[in-house]
Amino acid sequence: MSSEEINNLQNSFQRAVNLSGSSGAVSTSPTQSFMDTLPRRMSASNKAKALKPFSTGDMKILLLENVNATAVSIFEDQGYQVEFHKSSLPEEVLIEKIKDVHAIGIRSKTKLSANILKHARNLVSIGCFCIGTNQVDLKYATNAGIAVFNSPFSNSRSVAELIIGEIITLARQLGDRSIELHTGAWNKVSHRCWEVRGKTLGIIGYGHIGSQLSVLAEAMGMHVLYYDTVTIMALGTARQVPTLDELLNNSDFITCHVPATPETKNMLSAPQFAAMKEGAYILNASRGTVVDIPALIQAFKAGKIAGAALDVYPSEPAKNGAGVFNDDLNPWATELISLPNIILTPHIGGSTEEAQSAIGVEVATSLTKYINEGTSVGSVNFPEVSLRSLDYDQENTVRVLYIHHNVPGVLKTVNNVLSNHNIEKQFSDSKGDIAYLMADISNVDQSDIKSVYDELNQTDAKISIRLLY
């Protein structure tokens, strides 16, 4: 460390003493430049000690895109400083805002690129209050020691219910009849309108959403087929098929519930539409790159497809407003919206009060547990590491959080640094090029903490260090 960093560190130690009135207290705000976080424990009235930053008021949380109030409450209850915005921010504004925050919460519109993240001097974690994380440069975040969390399950029911509603709406051409009557036209027809009972639903991706959808569809009397790249136990009488083509050949309704990957890009395109039954229906509430929309338009015009429901698109507007979904955004937009029995919704699959509340709780809890305790369970880019809580009567114990490059010999080096103390418990795991070690060491005083930090900070494999107590 430079002499300036050492002076800063010593000043933070003295500040902790002044705040606590005890010569054994140590604290500082978490920064990447020195001793990222030094938390305190709760009073001895609790059986388990909670690891929290010494001065929670130093913790700065930036929440964008109208993240649910449940998340705001959780962060404020921790004593954190919370800055809340209902929309995303322009890149230049976000770069300025992100410089000093310790955690940021976003949804799907904010793009955290490497160009933005490189300005984040204190950033410890990112919370994606949604399923997807493709709006974050995960590689850069990982290499910078920034843990990323999301909510993969909390909106599953909301998405499944949307798909059920759209299946019935497509089968009965309800969208068209509603638009017609809004314009004064009375058009009572039954031609090519169907009950969904007895029809076959083909689900591509049988995860949390696909499996819930399966149960709902069967309750309405539908037969369910599903295709997944891994073998998954069926719920109810649903049946897994070995190939995508078999699903396409035999399904009346086909719905996609897969992530955005190179393998799923244009997963449904001209060859897949050709393999479908005449008059099949397509639904996509997963990712906008999964369905080749120009090919879908052609299949519809050729009479192969009887209707479609799309909730996601390759390019989506950055904010709400009239006229923003246009040909400049997606060159086929005008042609798509001119077609009958095509349901278009603005990425609202998980947009229910129940889902957003649950997402707020899930992601905010993950972030606070990571900030306060170092627990990375649920992180999409870190190995999942956790240690049991400290008992309230444990004194002079420090939790070491050491994020490092996954190279040989690191554990030996770290344990040599910690060898002057009793290592009460330790857990280390790796994921790709990154590894994460947590250790609780006892019999530690103020000068020991500085020494441990300095020695770990000088190790070659270090990415980021935090010491909690």
Q: Is residue 283 part of a domain?
A: yes
Q: Is the pLDDT of residue 29 over 90?
A: no
Catalytic residue flag (residue 287): yes
What percent of the chain has pLDDT above 70? Answer: 87
347 is catalytic: yes
Return d(Cα 383, Cα 454) in angstroms, integer: 25
CATH number at residue 283: 3.40.50.720
pLDDT digits (tens, 9 = 90+) for 264-275: 999 999 999 999
Confirm whether 454 is domain-assigned.
Answer: yes
**Structural domain count, the chain:** 2
Last residue in a domain, options 344, 378, 404: 344
Q: What is the pLDDT of residues 420-469, one digit of tens each?
A: 899 999 999 999 999 999 999 998 887 888 899 999 999 999 999 999 87
Please check whether residue 331 lies inside any domain of the structure: yes
Q: Which of 279, 312, 344 is the last residue of a domain?
A: 344
Do 52 and 185 share a domain, yes or no?
Answer: no
| Whether residue 168 sits in one domain with residue 260 | yes
326 and 337 within one domain: yes
Residue 87 pLDDT > 70, yes or no?
yes
Query: Is the pLDDT at 25 greater than 60, yes or no?
Result: no
Domain that holds residue 82: 3-153+355-468
Looking at the domain assignment, is residue 349 inside a domain? no
Exactly one of 5, 246, 316, 335 is catalytic; name it. 316
The answer to whether residues 238 and 313 belong to one domain is: yes
Both 160 and 149 in a single domain? no
Give the pLDDT band of residue 50 (cuts 50, 70, 90): low
pLDDT value, residue 416: 94
- Active-site residue among 287, 399, 404, 466? 287
pTM of the model: 0.78
What lies within 8 Å, CB to CB, of 441 at 6+ separation is: 397, 398, 400, 418, 421, 422, 423, 424, 452
Mean pLDDT over residues 58-84, rounded? Answer: 95
Does some domain include residue 350?
Answer: no
Pair (139, 177) in one structural domain: no
Query: 140 and 33: one domain?
Result: yes
Q: Are residues 24 and 149 in the same domain?
A: yes
Q: What is the pLDDT of residue 3?
A: 43
Out of 41, 208, 347, 466, pick the active-site residue.
347
